[in-house]
Structure 1
Amino acid sequence: MEIVKYVDYSDDNGFERWLVDIRRKLHQHAELSEREFETQLIIEGVLDELEIEHVRIADTGVMGIIRGEGDGTCVGLRADIDALPLVEDSGRPYASKTKGVMHACGHDAHTTILIGCAAKLKALSNTFRGVVKLFFQPAEETIGGAKRMVLQGCMKNPDVDYMLGLHVMPYLPVGTIEVRDGKLNAASDMVSVDIYGKAAHGAYPEKGVDAGLVAAEILQGIQTILTRQKSPLDQAVVTFGRINGGSKDNIVCDHLKATGIMRTTDENLRAHLKDAMMNYVEAVASAHGAKGVIKFEPGYNALINDKGVNEVVRAVARKVLGAGAIFEKESPSLGVEDYSFFLDDARGAFYHLGCGNVAEEIVHPLHSECFDLDERALIVGVGLQMNIILNLLQGGI
């Protein structure tokens, strides 16, 4: 498809320097999920300077609103703002000043790109019809701040028609993007398994029911369910990260609890695996004279991109970056992304923005204490997002 409107931001050196300064300020003042108080103030301060109306949402989040000339399409833009509990080891002069906290997932870049879009959109607000909502979302790394924002009405009044989001990726060189239609990220469910046996003296195990042995069989059997009750072509994984139980070394264990997480990319498979695991846990425990209880707590939904919005992303990227700069992601990631909650109410796209630079040794992965990014990704991100927005506002699908 041909894009409707194209604006080139790459030669605005003053604007790019401003973006870098904002990103470094955010980076130095990294804050954990639900504690993004100074980050919130920095965002609000910039929006005040730009004379953009805004409100606080989801406690430490911010929603900005830019209104064009008259009614029209409403586009939502999202950036996550929280950091991770890591001690930074990048050696950069703008390294985090917050002890034990750093922007190791690039959320400072996401926030900066959204601020850059806000500045340009405000300047252009008399040239388009419709509304753009700016979602500065807290707590992506923990409780899923996106869901809280949606529940507090961010997608309403006016209703958001299209959503846009991105994530920097160091395995992609700066100046490139990665896209995928349909399933991009997995859904998650927290899983807990409790096995109740009967205590006995370790010398007389026949007088008790060993919850530890029952649990060992069950945890191995759950992995067999994943290999024999689903197609090898379907994505699913269950990981138990903690096991606790027992009271004393020489007493047969009477209770053991294992907790973990299940990740899937298909809702039917998600439901089937829950049923299969529930039946299996109860049956195996009962066969040993024990009691088994499995519980699931929903986490994030699967992130599923809209093909039409993705086509706008590709068309813009071909114009801004060139056809060779677009990579197609072959299969979904089993990592989760709470941006998915916005897509329950609007068509949208989420793509990966290259921020790596092998020559500059900017290659460390996300969630690493050495993570950093090629800051040219900031102006690239603004250019992409702005041109995608302008096309969506003007009926580019």
Structure 2
Amino acid sequence: MPVINRIAEFHADMTAWRRDIHAHPELAYQEHRTADLVAAKLAEWGIAVHRGLAGTGVVGVLQGQGSGTKAIGLRADMDALPMPEANAFDHASKNPGTMHACGHDGHTTMLLGAARYLAETRNFDGTVHFIFQPAEEGKGGGKKMIEDGLFTRFPCDRVFGMHNWPDLPAGRIAVHPGPVMAAADQFTITVHGHGAHAAMPHNGIDPVLVAAHVITAMQSIVSRNTDPFDSAVVSVTWVEAGTTYNVIPNEAKLHGTIRTVRPETRARMPERIARVAENVAAAFGATAALEHRPGYPPTVNAQAEAELAAQVAAKVVGSANVVWNPDPSMGAEDFGYMLEEKPGCYVWLGHGGGAPGCRLHNPHYDFNDDILTTGASYWATLAETLLPRSP
């Protein structure tokens, strides 16, 4: 079963929606125009609309034919990134400093396309919850929707997500029977030394020098303290120290990210980082203190739901185009919060990229409109497969 014919018939409409959303990107918890567009479309198709979860979230509720009580959730994210767009086409961002560089415009559009088709046909028995989530880009909109009662007000037996994937050719879908994306935690290490004149360093304790040694020593946490078959990243990405060229400052700060897949590895990281920082600093006569800030949990698919998603993907793109169990990404996704609450599966939809301009979070990125019908067909087929009508 390839792309659904009816969905293919309104591909031009989907392209117009997608480009309109791309031209009007909105940041986390500010997706007012996008939410209005989504709500209006759902209402137009006779889908019950609920608003207000996580502020700008939208949930559409559609009952199928029959008396089935099973329900599934299909989730798309709506927010853009705080970055300028470098594209010059007509649908480039009209909001300076804000851009859909991760494809959330396409994610929203594909779920809308599935909603339109399912509202027309209702060839399923049960309930589909169309979850349009704000604030995925680092602001935890998924967690906020859950805290606001997402699964209490809209009970789901299973929940599913999708992300476009530029490294995967168009026409393919990747499914992981386990970890998909990593946890993303943050840290700040403050190194306290003793300020002095830069020409007389022996009169002080240089926290910049200490910080440099801490950065180097921290690389052993992954290379020498983590199972080589595990996946982990510790990156120092931002260093703060000093105010002028001829003064050794009193302190230096190191900021960075920790990416892990296994819960036990994630749990060990703060202690290991603190130990390295404190002991390296002590060797120089300085002190170091760690501030650890937990972020998104890992995105981990349930085995059974992953197998079902793969079967559905095969109906849409063919079994030869389903990529089973590829390596997980060390990127992060707050859909992980939803998978902590409900069994489900998060898939990667081939974007047909590879060129630099197609990479996620690139100022030249643009969603591939050719895959809109593929994604919408996957969503619709998933609903019809998991909520079948009685013969």
Q: Give the alignment's TM-score, normalised by structure 1.
A: 0.91
The percent of aligned pairs where both chains have the same amino acid is: 35
The one-letter code matched in structure 2 to 1:74 is A
1:221-240 matches, within 5 Å, as 221-240=217-236
1:192 aligns with 2:188: yes
State the distance in 2 between where 1:248 and 1:93 align.
45
State the distance in 1 between where 2:258 and 2:201 align: 33
How far off its partner does 1:11 sit? 5.2
- Number of paired residues? 388
Matched, 1:344 2:340: yes
Aligned to 2:140: 144
Superimposed CA distance per residue, residues 273-330 of structure 1 (whole angstroms, 9 cap, x where no aligned partner): 2211112222222333222101110111101111211112221222222122112353
RMSD between aligned residues? 2.3
Deviation at 1:50? 1.6
CA distance, structure 2, for counterparts of residue 334 and residue 47 of structure 1: 34
CA contact (8 A) 1:317 1:326 kept: yes
Q: Are 2:357 and 2:363, in contact at CA under 8 Å, matched by a contact in 1?
A: no
Name the CA shift for 1:214/1:51 in 2 (closer, same or farther; >3 Å).
Answer: same
SS of match in other structure, 1:47 = helix
* Match for residue 329 of structure 2 among 330, 333, 350: 333
Report the alpha carbon displacement of residue 350 of structure 1 after superposing the two structures with TM. Answer: 0.8
Alpha-carbon distance in 2 for matches of 1:12, 1:272: 48
Distance 1:123 1:208, change over 3 A: same
> Match of 2:75, SS?
strand
**Alignment match, 1:3:** none
Task: Show structure 1 runs of 4+ deviating over 4 A.
Answer: none
**Which of 78, 89, 94 matches 2:91?**
94
- Looking at structure 2, the residues matched to 13 and 280 of structure 1 have their Cα atoms a distance apart, in angstroms, of 56
For 1:248 and 1:13, locate their aligned partners in 2 and report how far apart those are by CA, in whole Å: 61
- Per-residue Cα deviation, 1:341-380 (whole angstroms, up to 9, x for no partner): 110111111111123279xx89621222222243231111
- Residue 383 of structure 1 aligns with an amino acid whose one-letter code is S
Whether the 8 Å contact between 1:10 and 1:380 is mirrored in structure 2 is no
| Structure 1 position 24 matched with structure 2 position 14 | no
| Matching residue's letter, 2:273 | M
Q: Does 1:298 align with 2:294?
A: yes
Judging changes above 3 Å, is the alpha-carbon distance between structure 1 residues 372 and 235 closer, same or farther for their aligned structure 2 residues? same
Whole-Å separation in 2 of the counterparts to 1:369 and 1:171: 17
Q: Aligned partners of 1:248, 1:85: CA distance in 2, in Å? A: 30
Question: Take 2:281 and 2:106, find their aligned partners in 1: how far apart are those partners?
Answer: 49
TM-score (norm 2): 0.92
Within the alignment, does 1:364 sit opposite 2:358 as a pair? yes
For 2:67, the equivalent position in structure 1 comes to 70
Separation of aligned partners in 2, 1:96 and 1:217? 43
Residues 356 and 362, structure 1, Cα contact 8 Å, conserved in 2: no
Distance 1:362 1:388 in 2: 32
> 1:195: how far off?
0.7
Q: Is the counterpart of residue 40 in structure 1 residue 35 in structure 2?
A: yes
- The whole-number CA distance in structure 1 between the counterparts of 2:179 and 2:89 is 36
- Residue equivalent to 1:50: 45
1:377 paired residue number: 371
Distance 1:122 1:362, change over 3 A: farther
In 2, are the aligned partners of 1:160 and 1:345 still within 8 Å (CA)? Answer: no
Residue 245 (structure 1) aligned with residue 241 (structure 2): yes
Aligned pair partner of 2:380 in 382, 386, 390: 386
- The alpha carbon displacement at 1:10 in A equals 2.7
CA contact (8 A) 2:7 2:373 kept: no
Q: What corresponds to 2:285 in structure 1? A: 289
Give 1:167's aligned residue: 163
Task: Identify which range, 374-383 or 94-103, moves more after superposition.
Answer: 94-103
Decide whether the 8 Å contact of 1:193 with 1:293 is kept in 2: yes
User: CA separation in 1, counterparts of 2:8 and 2:199?
Assistant: 77
Identify unmatched segments of 5+ residues in structure 1: 1-5
Helix, strand or coil for the counterpart of 2:372? helix
Cα gap change, 1:373/1:247 in structure 2, threshold over 3 Å: closer, same or farther?
Answer: closer
Q: Which amino acid aligns with 2:104?
A: H
Is the contact made by 1:105 and 1:367 (CA closer than 8 Å) also made in structure 2?
yes
Displacement of 1:174 after TM fit? 2.3
Indicate how the Cα distance of structure 1 residues 65 and 362 shifts in structure 2: closer, same or farther if over 3 A, else same. Answer: farther
Q: Deviations over 1:232-253 (max 9, x none)?
A: 2211111111111224433332
Alpha-carbon offset, residue 15 of structure 1:
2.2
Kindly indicate whether the alpha-carbon contact (under 8 Å) linking 2:166 and 2:358 is maintained by their aligned counterparts in 1. Answer: yes
Q: Distance in 2 between matches of 1:292 and 1:117?
A: 53
1:168: how far off?
A: 1.2
Q: Name the amino acid aligned to 1:278.
A: A
Residues 313, 319 of structure 2: 8 Å contact kept: yes
**Contact 2:6/2:117 (<8 A) preserved:** no
**Aligned with residue 211 of structure 2, among 205, 215, 224:** 215
Q: Give the C-alpha shift of residue 98 in structure 1.
A: 2.4
Q: Secondary structure at 2:288's aligned position in 1? A: strand
SS of 1:330 mapped into structure 2: coil
SS of 2:296 mapped into structure 1? coil
